[in-house]
Chain A
Amino acid sequence: MEESFWPMIDDLMFAHIMYTNKEYLIEIVSYITKIPKKLLKI
């Protein structure tokens, strides 16, 4: 795999990743804001 395939993340890609990977979003938001994961998963 060539390195050039790797995308530098921009806002559109960021939004796409966060929409398609809810668990990833939950882990990150919970760690930063200290909102319990349980609340975010509802």
Chain B
Amino acid sequence: MIYVDTNLKEENRNIKHQRSDIVIKVNDNTICNLEMNKDYYESYLVKNISYLFTLHNQDNMSGIKYSVGDVYVQINFDNFGKFGHKLINEYRLKEISSGEDYPIDRIKIYHIKLDYLQNKEYTKSENIKFIKYLKLMSAKNYGEALEIVKGGDKIMHEVFNEMMRYAKKLPFGYRDVEYEEMLLRNTFKDEAKKEDAKAMLRKGYPVEDIKDITGLPKKEIEKLKEIEKE
């Protein structure tokens, strides 16, 4: 996989403010164009699609040759609830009455409905990492992001740090010591609360009382109760 220069050729620069967000080339024949759409405006779909077709038509960009067999994939990350009925929505050209696919699969368009993550509980273990990655992208505030990244993997922590660096215009490589310490403090604080809750459960305290005393969410205490039973 390589990153491709996102600037369109000179003659195409009237399209999509001259550039896309990210373009990558995978293998020899797949081009992926990733777009973050923060706000909805009527012409955004047309602009994004125009960009995709311009990529397709442009036979040479940054020294990379495009050929007839290439597959063009556009992934739109939509941070608003305008359309789509699930998290990952895939769009293709189809015949209207039969639903038959148009016999080319060289253009694939995905819309990732980020606002869908706000109201939905995800329990499938195989999805959890992906869901957390997307949730981090759409977090509304620092507290929410911190909650998501807690217990996350190394990649998530690096992205979180990079977001902070970017927001504060700090140099690349800077580590947010304050954040890292807070993360550790919070993790230990939560662990201590859980131990307290377990002790109270063993003594037969009602869940509601444990919730009031420790501040842990009811769901969390009920989970601990199940574990204690086993």
Contacts and interface: CB of A to CB of B under 8 A. Distances in A.
A7 B163 contact: yes
Interface of A: 1-3, 5-11, 13-29, 31-33, 35, 39-42
Given A17-B159, A18-B22, A23-B155, A3 B36 contact: no
B210 interface: no
B130 A27 contact: yes
The B interface, classified by DSSP as helix, strand, loop or mixed, is mixed
Interface in B1-46: 1, 3, 6, 21-22, 24, 26-27, 30, 32, 34-38
B133 A24 contact: yes
B142 A2 contact: yes
A33 to B, nearest CB: 6
Interface string B127-164: 00110011001111111010000000001101100111
Interface of B: 1, 3, 6, 21-22, 24, 26-27, 30, 32, 34-38, 73, 75, 77, 79, 88, 108, 110, 112, 129-130, 133-134, 137-143, 145, 155-156, 158-159, 162-164, 166-168, 172, 178-179, 182
Nearest to A21: B159
A27 B154 CA distance: 13
Contacts of B137: 9, 14, 17
A5 to B, nearest CB: 6
Contacts of A15: 6, 21-22, 36
Q: Which of B26, B112, B178 has its CB near the most chain A CB atoms (within 10 A)?
A: B26
Contacts, number: 112
A41 to B, nearest CB: 7
B34 A29 contact: yes
The A interface, classified by DSSP as helix, strand, loop or mixed, is helix
Contacts of B138: 9
Given A9-B36, A23-B155, A27-B130, 19 more contacts: A1-B142, A6-B141, A7-B167, A9-B79, A9-B138, A10-B36, A14-B21, A17-B159, A19-B22, A20-B172, A21-B155, A27-B155, A32-B75, A32-B110, A33-B75, A35-B26, A39-B1, A39-B26, A39-B27
A25 B166 CA distance: 17
Given A26-B1, A27-B155, A21 B112 contact: no
A23 to B, nearest CB: 5
B34 A5 contact: no
5 closest cross-chain pairs (CB), A and B: A14-B36, A7-B167, A6-B142, A31-B130, A3-B142
